[in-house]
Amino acid sequence: MQKMKILIIEDAETVRNELKDFLTAYGYEVEAPDDFQHVLSYATKEDIHLILLDINLPVFDGYFICREIRKSSQVPIIIVTSRNNEMDELMSMNLGADDFVTKPYHTQILLARIDAVLKRAYKQPEALSLTVGELKLHLANGTISYKGGHQELTKNEFKILHYLMVKKGSIVSREELMEHLWSSDLFVDDNTLSVNVTRLRRKIESLGMENPIETRRGLGYILS
Amino acid sequence: MQKMKILIIEDAETVRNELKDFLTAYGYEVEAPDDFQHVLSYATKEDIHLILLDINLPVFDGYFICREIRKSSQVPIIIVTSRNNEMDELMSMNLGADDFVTKPYHTQILLARIDAVLKRAYKQPEALSLTVGELKLHLANGTISYKGGHQELTKNEFKILHYLMVKKGSIVSREELMEHLWSSDLFVDDNTLSVNVTRLRRKIESLGMENPIETRRGLGYILS
DNA sequence: CTGCAAATTTACCGCTCCTTTACATGCGAG
DNA sequence: CTCGCATGTAAAGGAGCGGTAAATTTGCAG
């Protein structure tokens, strides 16, 4: 399995660093930012595979953050809580969280939970690649292949194709894609998306496949 | 979502029956056999969607059963355990179980876990659609289908049909539709609506269906 | 039947949305 | 530093959506 990247959202610096060291030691890549303003932009990054979310945060409530993440991403979330009552458990489950851990926890249990959730989320034998027709997108190294040929994708091309593949069969509005590619506080011309789509189409066509990214004028793009 | 069938593997008859009644009340189909010799044949049945497995069984250990099931099936398994130590949690996770619940548990928590696991395992691409007669409007990709044929709709056509379908059976005035299609500050000729309705009718008829959009002269349109 | 308003239909074409090419910038590897 | 690649911007081109106008049809009232 590819190297998994975990995002830690936790306000206590000591806990954060301990966790980071611990998980790094066990072979995970870890992001542990200390600014909670921009935590959401971290969370929706492509390369985050799991989020460890402390529910007990200052400023934004962890519940709020969880919901916000779920609006735009299905990345697995494990909620860490010190509130040890059932309501929390229930609410956590309804928030779209994948699991939760109650403090204090044994580190080995945390590891087991993480493993389990990751396995669940990314286990499908072909979870390492998505397909449209005979076109394969390899998640591990960001390449596409078609009938023997292959091409490397840039970050943007990957994000676009990945998102469209996940939503295969549904129209994805340009707006939605824009939000997925660029944090909303960054102002990027709408045309830039078009350019990136063109570049992606070029690469796919260079493999001999006819363009699978359909444009629905005024609505968005759709992969079929 | 279809009706889900849960298999309970539990030795204590009272618990078994309580669980069965409880889950049945919440809309699940439940199998709760009392013979543990043949539990494995139950477990691998096609129509079992989830297994609730008590780890603390006589004769066969629950661990053994879990492993056996996993040899031949990927059906989701939730392990129920009263042993409240870490080893159990760890081992359960490594058995291929999808989740576990520690006794004593609150029934609402059990429900939440079951829901979560089922949702993960059987989430479908949700073919959300509205219908009139045999005509289907697919919300995800903005197409209509009728007896195997498909047609793509433009933005306006989609809006019109969608609105009429939502209000199926009642008359929708032209003014109401106009407001729904164009922001009121934009002045669009009344005739434009007629043209768009015509275009929509064309596409529906091209699928071999007779026009379902009835005009009530002086009142509006109605879908029947 | 006649007249008129409402709705349909056809044809046209402008304008928005999207594509595409070319160029500028900037960052990372060596 | 310098080269190369990724990526954003600018500008020109194109295609089809969809609005307009005019002709035609439908339906209702007197």
| Closest residue on chain B to A111 (Cα) | B90
Among A146, A150, A129, smallest CA distance to A210 is for: A146
Tell me the one-letter amino acid at B70. R
Write the CB contacts of B75 (distance below 8 Å, at least 6 apart in sequence).
B43, B44, B48, B49, B50, B51, B69
The beta-carbon neighbor of B89 closest among A93, A112, A218 is A112
Check whether the bond before B76 is cis (ω within 30° of 0): no
Q: Determine the pLDDT at residue A124.
A: 40
Residue B83 reports pLDDT greater than 60 = no
Please say whether the beta carbons of B74 and B122 come within 8 A. Answer: no
- Please check whether residue B105 touches A, CB under 8 A: no
Q: Determine the pLDDT at residue B200.
A: 98
CATH class given for the domain over B5-122: alpha beta
Q: Which residue has the tokens 């990136």?
A: A196
Among A223, A133, A211, A212, smallest CA distance to A170 is for: A223
Interface-testing mutation among B93, B119, B196, with chain A (most A C-beta atoms within 10 A): B93
Helices (H), chain A: 13-25, 39-43, 62-72, 86-94, 107-122, 155-166, 174-181, 190-206
Summarize pLDDT for A89-98 with one digit per residue, the tens: 555 556 677 7
- Please check whether residue A166 touches B, CB under 8 A: no
Lowest mean pLDDT segment, chosen from A40-44, A52-56, A189-193, B38-42: A40-44
Mean pLDDT over B159-173 rounds to: 95
Please give the Cα distance from A37 to A39 (Å, whole number).
6
Please say whether the beta carbons of B52 and B78 come within 8 A. Answer: yes
Please give the C-alpha separations between residue A16 and each of A102, A173, B97, B221, in angstroms, as whole numbers: 16, 37, 29, 61
Please say whether the beta carbons of A164 and A221 come within 8 A. Answer: yes
Largest CA distance in chain A: 58
DSSP string, A57-83: -SSS-HHHHHHHHHHH----EEEEE--
Summarize pLDDT for B4-21 with one digit per residue, the tens: 899 999 888 898 899 999
Confidence of residue B94 (pLDDT cuts 50, 70, 90): low
A92 touches strand D (CB under 7 A): no
Mean pLDDT for chain A? Answer: 81
Lowest mean pLDDT segment, chosen from A173-187, B59-73, B164-178, B209-223: B59-73
Q: How far is the CA of B191 from the C1' of C12 (A)?
A: 16
Q: Determine the pLDDT at residue A25.
A: 78
Check whether the bond before B104 is cis (ω within 30° of 0): yes
Residue A74 reports pLDDT greater than 80 = no
Mean pLDDT over A50-76 rounds to: 78
B195 touches strand C (CB under 7 A): yes
Q: Which nucleotide is nearest to B215 (CA to C1')?
A: C7
- Please check whether residue B119 touches A, CB under 8 A: no
Q: Determine the pLDDT at residue A88.
A: 57
Summarize pLDDT for A185-199 with one digit per residue, the tens: 778 899 999 999 999
Q: Determine the pLDDT at residue B86.
A: 47
Q: Where are the domains of chain B?
A: 5-122, 129-223
Q: Determine the pLDDT at residue A120.
A: 64
Summarize pLDDT for B26-70 with one digit per residue, the tens: 889 998 888 766 777 777 777 889 999 888 777 677 777 887 887
Among B156, B181, B169, smallest CA distance to B130 is for: B169
Lowest mean pLDDT segment, chosen from A114-123, A167-176, B46-55: A114-123
Summarize pLDDT for A103-112 with one digit per residue, the tens: 777 777 788 7
Q: With contacts defined as CB-CB under 8 Å, which chain B residues touch A115?
A: 93
Sheet holding B143-146, edge to edge: B129-132, B135-138, B143-146, B149-152
Please give the Cα distance from A161 to A150 (Å, whole number).
15
Paired with B207 in beta bridges are none
Among A85, A70, A72, A60, smallest CA distance to A10 is for: A60
Mean pLDDT over B72-97 rounds to: 65
Q: Determine the pLDDT at residue B137.
A: 96
Residue B124 reports pLDDT greater than 70 = no
Mean pLDDT for chain B? Answer: 84
Using a 7 Å cut-off to protein CB atoms, list the covered nucleotides of chain D: 5-12, 16-22, 27-28
Q: Which nucleotide is nearest to A153 (CA to C1')?
A: D6
| Closest-CA distance of chain A to residue B92, Å | 9
| Closest residue on chain B to A105 (Cα) | B86
More confident residue, A127 or A129: A129
Tokens of B169: 């059976």
A109/B94 touch (CB, cutoff 8 Å), yes or no = no
Please say whether the beta carbons of A159 and A199 come within 8 A. Answer: no
Interface-testing mutation among A74, A90, A95, with chain B (most B C-beta atoms within 10 A): A90
Please give the Cα distance from B207 to B96 (Å, whole number).
48
| Closest-CA distance of chain A to residue B219, Å | 30
Tell me the one-letter amino acid at B15. V
A94/B112 touch (CB, cutoff 8 Å), yes or no = yes
Q: Determine the pLDDT at residue B97.
A: 72
Confidence of residue A1 (pLDDT cuts 50, 70, 90): very low
Q: Determine the pLDDT at residue B155.
A: 97
Using a 7 Å cut-off to protein CB atoms, list the covered nucleotides of chain C: 6-11, 17-22
Residue A127 reports pLDDT greater than 50 = no
Query: Cα torsion at A168, A174, A178, A180 (round to 10°)?
Result: -20
Q: Determine the pLDDT at residue B135.
A: 95
**Other CB atoms within 10 A of residue A159 CB:** 20
Confidence of residue B87 (pLDDT cuts 50, 70, 90): very low
Q: Determine the pLDDT at residue B36.
A: 65
Q: How far is the CA of A70 from the C1' of D7 (A)?
A: 28
Count of residues in chain A: 224
* CATH number for the domain running over A129-223: 1.10.10.10
Mean pLDDT over B83-98 rounds to: 56
